[in-house]
Structure 1
Amino acid sequence: MGRWGITLPLTAVPLAEHRDLVRELPQLGYTDVWTAETAGTDAFTPLALAAEWAPELRLGTAIAPVYTRGPGLLAMTAATIAELAPDRFVLGIGTSSPVIVSGWNAQEFTEPYARTRDTLRFLRSAFAGEKISHKYPTFEISKFRLERPPQPPPKVMLAALRPGMLRLARKEADGAITNWLAPSDVPKVRAEVGADFELVARVFVCPTEDADAARGLGRLLISSYLTVPVYAAFHDWLGRGESLKPMHDAWAAGDRKRANEVIPDEVVDDLIVHGSPDRCRELLRRYVESGLDTPVISVLPTGQDPREVVRALAPE
């Protein structure tokens, strides 16, 4: 068995109440804990706790936005986790979305490709302990140096969907992190980054045999996420443009109820893993067989205690 990741913290479980589960994860067969950053916990604090609770786990952010912290603060925060978990921390960075960057954090969402590239280059220099005074195309840094450069420097991975960002990841990063894809999509993404390059993907998992309930929840998520322009373009590239066109048309007309209704079952079943825990494990393994290195489970609500769901989804 290769890597088997879990997204923490779990919805509706207070962060402090994760301790017993996190301590148990290595024995269950999990190798990784990855965080996200939207409007709940930040991406780094849960990893500081996990570094203490389960020193065996690899820890990663998927992702920390490049806009919502200044470059220096992002480097400092990452260096702190890297010091707590030497050689076990992966900094995943990406653009996030205009809603999070502009709507919630009052920052301009401009030149996402260039800002990500420049942030990656800055971080490489910062983690190496360099004193940085440099005018990057999207920001300028004057006389910044980390007081405690992490040893060893953490790996840096890029959130990437389409060819441009995937190729940037291959050229300058240590891996790529992707999202919202089916096992059948993995070869197309893998082709852009080549072999021997880590590909991580968050996979939404709803372990219930109530297919209608799982699809209903899946439709809500799909209409919320895949109407965001970057994800719409991603699925156009993957070949789902026609299947998702009725959803986009209804969404553009302001009819969110209709947008959910017209998402085909096949699309939901492609993008949301659901069924018994055994079937969910089987589907997760299909991602790996298709070329994914690290599946990162994101548990969707089923009415059960999500901690028990994590235990049920452990690799056998």
Structure 2
Amino acid sequence: MRFGLQLGYWGAQPPANHRELVLAAEESGFDAVFTAESWGSDAFTPLAWYGSDTSRVRLGTSVVQLSARTPTATAMAALTLDHLSGGRHILGLGVSGPQVVEGWYGAPFAKPLARTREYVSIVRQVLAREAKVTSPGPAYPLPYNGSGATGLGKPLKPITHPLRADLPIWLGAEGPKNVALTAEIADGWLAIYYTPRLADMYNEWLDEGFARPGARRTRADFEIAATAQVILTDDRKAALDAIRPYSALYIGGMGAEELNFHAEVYRRMGYGDAVDEITRLFRSGRKDEAAAAVPDELILDTTIIGNEDEVREQLKVWEQAGVTMMLIGVRDVAQFERLRPLIES
């Protein structure tokens, strides 16, 4: 099992130490570095900046939001970054949610599965550069001949020859249908809130996708990258208390109350009553109480917390469940030194 550094997206200001974290990740033997985007910083620009200082680590997006760019614009960014990095780019894509898609990008959130399939197909056409890129739509028709069209549009090939036609595309997916689609059309799954306890359920979803006609990969060459907190500590309670407010935010405050994909993930884990209570408290402005309502077990299902021996044993559990890469957040360079024995073992 390999390790990836999850840098995420920026807060109110650019992080001051991400460059040194990236350099430390490469020096410490991490396989990849990932950036994200929400409705502030974008995912591609930091990778290009940090990638110029590195020579080995792969550079991934976790994730680029589909509605932020047309498929061809995303393919242009991906092929450009892949050239600049010498073939180290991983294109991670995700649909986001209706609150962001309709509220920030001004686009409809309808039919996310169909849009994902169409989007990935167009990106792959660009990267293959075997023919002029076309698509019947309906989400991304190429050439566009709909309302307001001049009728002058024509199919095009990318001017720049992509470095790799098989540039890996990973999908961020949470629900059963989306995970099955990921196994069918993608090269890897970016799993958030993964728990080894439900590995059999995830494998059923994945196997459905692998079994579909024309599936791109098999389990043998498919990557599962799970984002998780890995915390080395002798004070488990303090670590749990530090995580609780973030869990409450994603469970109770992210997305719309009527449609929060993160909350649904925890419902599938069996925490429906806790999710309802956290959501009720968070949405009523009682954020501290919402954090306090997050059960220890809910956090421990999707994180690894303990001393070195305990963390090493848990990492084995995740690997045996099928995870090929752990995507972890690291706050300072000193943490790499604490993690090094686990990475090298």
TM class by smaller structure: 0.7 to 0.9
Alpha-carbon offset, residue 271 of structure 1? 2.4
Paired amino acid for 2:182:
A
Are the counterparts in 1 of residues 92 and 170 from structure 2 also a CA contact under 8 Å? Answer: yes
- The gaps in structure 1 that reach 5 residues or longer are none
Partner of 2:241: 216
Specify whether residues 218 and 25 from structure 1 end up closer, same or farther in structure 2 by C-alpha distance, changes over 3 A only.
closer
Matched-pair contact (CA < 8 Å) for 1:203–1:273: yes
Contact 1:72 1:144 in 2 (8 A): no
2:201 aligned residue: 188
The match for 1:205 is 230
Q: 1:229-308 counterparts in 2 under 5 A?
A: 229-251=260-282, 253-276=284-307, 279-299=310-330, 306-308=332-334
CA distance in 2, matches of 1:221, 1:17: 21
Q: Note the 1:52-131 alignment, pairs <5 A.
A: 52-129=52-129, 130-131=131-132
Percent identity, aligned pairs only, is: 29
TM-score in terms of structure 2 length: 0.80
3-state SS of 1:176 partner: strand
DSSP-derived class of the 2:37 partner: coil
**CA RMSD in angstroms, aligned pairs only:** 2.7
- Bigger shift: residues 277-286 or 183-192: 277-286
Partner of 1:225: 250
Distance 2:7 2:290 in 1: 29
Q: Is the 8 A contact 1:94 1:158 kept in 2?
A: yes
| 1:71 shift after superposition | 2.0
CA–CA distance in structure 2, aligned partners of residues 184 and 29 of structure 1? 28
Greater mean deviation of Cα atoms: 63-72 or 133-142: 133-142
Q: 1:5 aligned to 2:39?
A: no
CA shift in 2, pair 1:97/1:289, >3 Å: same
Secondary structure, aligned partner of 1:4: strand
Partner of residue 182 from structure 2, selected from 169, 173, 181 = 169
Amino acid at match of 1:284: L
Q: 1:124 to 1:247 in 2, by over 3 A?
A: same
User: Is residue 146 of structure 1 aligned with residue 162 of structure 2?
Assistant: no
Rounded to whole Å, the distance in 1 between the matches of 2:70 and 2:79 is 14
Structure 1 Cα separation of the partners of residues 316 and 37 of structure 2: 26
Contact 2:3 2:31 in 1 (8 A): yes
User: In the superposition, relative to structure 1, how do residues 175 and 120 fare at CA in structure 2: closer, same or farther (>3 Å)?
Assistant: same
The amino acid that maps onto 1:133 is: T
Structure 1 counterpart SS, 2:142: strand
Which aligned runs of 4 or more in structure 1 are off by greater than 6 angstroms?
9-13
- For 2:296, give the aligned amino acid: D
Alpha-carbon offset, residue 33 of structure 1: 1.0
Shift of 1:277: 5.5
Q: In 2 relative to 1, CA 159–10 (structure 1 residues): closer, same or farther, beyond 3 Å?
A: closer
- Comparing 242-251 and 123-132, the one that deviates more: 242-251
| Equivalent residues of 1:281, 1:313 under 8 A apart | no
Q: Distance in 1 between matches of 2:180 and 2:9?
A: 32
- Matched AA of 2:229: F
After TM superposition, the structure 1 stretch with the greater mean CA deviation from structure 2, 21-30 or 229-238, is 21-30
Taking the aligned partners of 1:221 and 1:64, their CA distance within structure 2 comes to 22
Q: 1:235 to 1:274 in 2, by over 3 A?
A: same
State the 1:124 CA deviation: 0.9
Listed one character per residue, the Cα deviations across residues 279-309 of structure 1 (whole Å, up to 9, x for unaligned) are 445433431122111111023x6xxxx2222
SS of 2:229's partner is strand
Q: Does 1:178 align with 2:191?
A: yes
Shift of 1:148: 1.3
Q: Is the 8 A contact 2:2 2:326 kept in 1?
A: yes
- In 1, the alpha carbon distance for the partners of 2:8 and 2:268 equals 31
Letter in 2 for 1:234: V
1:313 maps to which residue? 339
**2:24 and 2:336 in contact (8 A); partners too:** no
How many residues get paired?
A: 310
Match of 1:291, SS state, is coil
Distance 1:245 1:9 in 2: 27
Query: Structure 2 vs 1, CA of residues 217 and 146 (structure 1 numbering), >3 Å: closer, same or farther?
Result: farther
SS at match of 1:137: coil
- Cα distance, 1:137 vs structure 2: 2.3
Please tell me whether the aligned partners of residues 173 and 179 of structure 2 are also in contact (alpha carbons under 8 angstroms): yes
Distance 2:84 2:313 in 1: 34
Kept in 2: contact 1:178–1:200 (CA 8 A): yes
Shift of 1:250: 3.1
- Greater Cα offset, 158-167 or 91-100: 91-100
